[in-house]
Amino acid sequence: MTQKINQNGLSLIKRWEGFRRRAYLCPAGKWTIGFGHTAGVKRGDTVTMEEAERLLSEDLTAAERAVRELIKVALTENQFSALVSWTFNLGRENLRTSTLRRRLNARNYGAVPDEMQRWNKVRDPETGALEVSLGLVRRRASEVDLWMSKDGTVAEDGDMPQAPEAIEIKSLAKSRTAIGSATAGAGGAGLVADSAQEIIQAAQSAEQHINTGTWVGLVLGTIILVAAGVAFYARIDDWRKGRR
């Protein structure tokens, strides 16, 4: 039976790519549209949701084929889907030449999480320098989490070690503990952490509006972020003045 990405992997890709109706320049300087589609895209292009779903299906078929052809060991559904997401984002050639592929094909399953997370940089289109992308750091963490999640399904016969227990990998931006610790020296860490969590929730809501690719969505997303920032400042100012 031909192995294909499961719903967990599909949801992960859609969540991180987001739907964009109008073509936009991604951080790597490529015109992108729909759910991360780049082939043949140019400035001014638009797509409907139905067209974006079709393009995503075509792109996923290529990524699935790459993983099936280049990885020679047995994979669970979640492991396969995590690699498809990784390949969808980075391309077949990067999978083919990666240390990740070499170590995995040597049956070193435990090396995959670290190897996945190494690919967290984008090349600045102006300077040509590689820079760490927070978005890619978080996406790699999501893919690692999926890779390490048990599903009990193996695509082909083979002696494959049981996937290790899933570990929780949090980005700094999502960690209330980290936010609170960073400000503890100034006092009011609990207040800042709670307020920061509200900002994170507002940012997630704003992202959903902005990712629609419309001017209305952009305006609404910006308003949400500005309002959250003003509320955060007001709470900190009240705390400083003893008006908690």
Q: What residues are labeled active site? A: 17, 26
Handedness of CA 100, 82, 23, 136 (dihedral sign): negative
121 phi/psi in degrees, rounded to 5: -120, 155
In the block, tokens 């559904």 appear at 77
State how far Cα 78 lies from the chain centre. Answer: 16
For 69, the token pair is 């052809």
Give CA torsion, residues 56, 59, 60, 62, to 10 deg.
Answer: 170
**Which residues, other chains included, contact 22 with Cβ-Cβ below 8 Å and sequence gap of 6+?**
33, 44, 45, 46, 213, 214
